């Protein structure tokens, strides 16, 4: 007998964003505004913004979004040699670099996630990312063997980096190559969302490369909706997120294959097909999704509970795919 359509599940935030909703209380009904849709390319992927605003604001909003994303790329792109990150990677051993505020905020979060996850996340994986063919050097003809991976691991250890948070200084240990692809897209989403909010556009949905953040509500008064992706052929019930004061980031195999590396041994992490994390910040959701994708639910569930993280893991099984949800996400499903 053919199975009927799977029931849609809906995850909703446990509270209301009072700051965003104050615009409606103050007599500025969003329902009278159209939704402007903007889109473009950045960080080797695409971006999209939906914002409740007068149509006349389209041009200035496009310039605002493009300008803010350009700042993030100039700071943290590992694809552009002249980026702030590129200059750090070429710096001499023992030298200190004062980081921009953007770069410093991302590094602070990266160090926190690396420490809390026992090294399942690392901002210093540049050499291994390139050697496995996932970086700016492009695909490789032959995967590295165990000996080559072992030789690169000392240059991919985040603990070798000295970090002076108060002065926003990072010291190059010598030959360490930063790669922030596991957290920088999320930061870009936050940066755009914050820029829109600062200009008075409190009701919007921002996406960069599959990482999302929603603030306020759509013009109909409901949350902005985002459906989490499933791997092709996965027979899993759909999961819709009410993006009111929430961000969601996903690390999955359905776009780039098994691209996630375990910083602890430098090898591909192939036990999780997808990991989605919901958080107030897209940067933190992005970084945690990277770490918890490596850990998987067996190692990562206790960490998710300790951190209060709403997480969905998708795991390959003999029947195709299975999923595991953290208690915080189950609470959001009601």
In a domain? residue 74: no
Annotated binding residues: 182, 286, 290
Of 193-197, 235-239, 288-292, 314-318, which gets the smallest average pLDDT? 314-318
- What token pair was written down for 236? 């899993």
Q: What is the pLDDT of residue 220?
A: 87
Quote the pTM value: 0.93
In a domain? residue 240: no
Q: Tell whether the model's pLDDT for residue 286 goes beyond 50.
A: yes
- Determine the Cα–Cα distance for residues 122 and 36; give it in Å rounded to an integer: 37
Q: Tell whether the model's pLDDT for residue 2 goes beyond 50.
A: no
Max CA pair span of the chain: 67
Q: How confident is the model at residue 210 (pLDDT cuts 50, 70, 90)?
A: very high
Length of the chain: 334
Q: What is the pLDDT of residue 25?
A: 46
In a domain? residue 115: yes
Q: What is the pLDDT of residues 3-18, one digit of tens each?
A: 556 789 999 998 877 7
Q: Tell whether the model's pLDDT for residue 1 goes beyond 80.
A: no
Q: What is the mean pLDDT of the chain?
A: 91
In a domain? residue 112: yes
Domain that holds residue 135: 91-171
- Determine the Cα–Cα distance for residues 161 and 128; give it in Å rounded to an integer: 17
In a domain? residue 312: no
Q: What is the pLDDT of residues 59-83, one digit of tens each?
A: 999 999 999 999 999 999 988 889 9
In a domain? residue 243: no
Burial (CB < 10 A; 0-12, 13-18, 19+), residue 62, is: middle
CATH of the domain at 165: 1.10.3980.10
- Determine the Cα–Cα distance for residues 127 and 45; give it in Å rounded to an integer: 22
Q: What is the pLDDT of residues 222-272, one digit of tens each?
A: 999 999 988 888 889 999 999 999 999 998 765 555 568 999 999 988 788
Q: What is the pLDDT of residue 223?
A: 93
- Determine the Cα–Cα distance for residues 59 and 61; give it in Å rounded to an integer: 5
Q: What is the pLDDT of residue 254?
A: 53
In a domain? residue 67: no
Q: What is the pLDDT of residues 123-181, one digit of tens each?
A: 999 999 999 988 787 788 888 999 999 999 999 999 999 999 999 999 999 999 999 99
- What token pair was written down for 203? 């009701």
Q: How many domains does the chain have?
A: 1
- Determine the Cα–Cα distance for residues 287 and 278; give it in Å rounded to an integer: 11
In a domain? residue 149: yes
Residue 323's H or E segment, with its range, is strand 320-325
Annotated binding residues for Mg(2+): 182, 286, 290
């Amino acid at each position: 007998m053919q199975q009927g359509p799977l029931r849609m599940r809906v995850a909703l935030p446990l509270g209301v964003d009072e700051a965003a909703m104050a615009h409606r209380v103050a007599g500025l009904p969003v329902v009278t505004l159209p939704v402007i849709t903007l889109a473009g390319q950045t960080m080797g992927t695409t971006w999209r913004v939906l914002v409740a605003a007068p149509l006349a604001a389209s041009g200035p909003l496009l310039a605002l979004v493009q300008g803010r994303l350009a700042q993030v790329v100039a700071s943290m792109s590992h694809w552009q040699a002249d980026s702030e990150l590129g200059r750090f990677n070429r710096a001499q051993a023992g030298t200190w670099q004062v980081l921009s505020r953007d770069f410093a905020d991302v590094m602070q979060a990266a160090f926190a996630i690396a420490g809390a996850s026992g090294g399942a996340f690392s901002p210093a994986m540049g050499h291994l990312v390139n050697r496995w063919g996932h970086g700016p050097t492009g695909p490789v003809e032959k995967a590295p063997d165990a000996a080559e991976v072992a030789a690169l691991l000392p240059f991919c250890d985040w603990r070798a980096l000295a970090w002076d948070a108060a002065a926003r200084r990072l010291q190059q240990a010598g030959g360490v190559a930063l790669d922030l692809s596991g957290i920088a897209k999320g930061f870009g989403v936050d940066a755009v969302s914050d820029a829109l909010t600062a200009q008075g556009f409190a009701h919007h949905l921002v996406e960069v490369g599959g990482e999302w953040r929603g603030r306020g509500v759509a013009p109909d008064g409901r949350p902005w909706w985002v459906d989490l992706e499933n791997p092709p052929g996965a027979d899993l019930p759909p999961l819709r997120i009410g993006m009111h004061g929430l961000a969601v980031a996903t690390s999955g195999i359905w776009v780039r294959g098994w691209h996630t590396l375990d910083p602890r041994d430098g090898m591909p992490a192939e036990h999780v097909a997808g990991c989605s994390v919901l958080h107030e910040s897209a940067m933190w959701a992005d970084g945690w999704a990277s770490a918890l994708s490596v850990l998987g639910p067996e190692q990562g569930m206790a960490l998710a509970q300790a951190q209060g993280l709403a997480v969905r893991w998708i795991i390959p099984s003999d029947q195709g795919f299975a999923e595991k949800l953290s208690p915080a996400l189950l609470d959001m499903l009601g």
